[in-house]
Amino acid sequence: MASGFFAIFDDIAALMDDVALASKVATRKTAGILGDDLAVNAEKATGFLASRELPVLWAITKGSFLNKLIIIPVALLLNAFFPVAIKAILIAGGFYLAYEGVEKIIEYLFHRTPAPQHAVELNEESSGAVEKTKIRSAITTDFILSVEIVIIALGTVMEQSLSIQILVVSIVALLATIGVYGIVALIVRMDDAGYKLIKHSDNKGWLTALGNILVKALPVVIKFLGFIGTIALILVSGGIFIHNIEYLHHALPQWPAMILEFGTGVIAGLVAVAVFTVGKKLYQLTGRK
């Protein structure tokens, strides 16, 4: 009886060793997209009143957890019974990400608001609507990126047992959510930390200097993350197309992967923006009739 009891512990220990090793490999494989996820979500989680930053970020984090609770079982089931659907979902998500990235570039180049002060006032007046819109957009983008993270993690343990697949994918998904949104929370509260340091040091000494650096650095970090987030959207989308469409995977092998992914993402984004714009105009015309 005792030997059987200890044998169970041995099996559990062996399983945990396999899970730890597989999780390490899966985390390394998803490190690139986790960096993209951080840049994209940091940009999505900024631009709110200071008092609303953490509540908004918490709402997005809860949405991210829910996304993964939906994605993980669906991905495991599709992988077992209908694997071709995973590729179709990834490509559809790639067009969404490409659209978001290219639409931001077009907005910046051709539709920038000439009066920034007015934009701030408008945000304050309609903060509730702005919050809901940005939260929905952030959760939708998180869903697409989460699909990519889960499927990449699943791809590293395809040959393992179902129990190892479930545990590894769940661990990577959990680490992705906690890690990404934990870092985003630190970024968006950087200025508050700076103000507290200044207040604590009575506005003198090295703590004050550090506080001033944190306060002044936040707008620069947010702008930088906005830029990186846009590039990340396009790169992730281009990577989805290249890795899941056979023709693109073997096209132009002499080109650097990053340039090829970015170019593919931009082209897909332009197509998506054009289709969406035409569809919107047609809908408006038919609606008027």
Nearest CA to 194 out of 211, 206, 210 is that of 211
Choice between 88 and 274, residue whose per-residue pLDDT is larger: 274
Cβ-based neighbours of 9, under 8 Å, separated by 6 or more: none
Q: Which residue type does 231 have?
A: I
pLDDT grade for 164, boundaries at 50, 70 and 90: confident
Q: What's this model's pTM, rounded to 2 decimal places?
A: 0.68
pLDDT at site 121: 44
208 is written with which tokens? 């004050």
pLDDT at 25: 58
And the tokens for 69? Answer: 């609770």
Segment 81-106, tens digit of pLDDT: 888 887 888 888 889 888 988 998 99
Token pair in block for residue 61: 């984090």
Mean of the per-residue pLDDT values of the chain: 77
Distance between terminal CA atoms of the chain?
80
Distance CA 42, CA 188 (A): 8
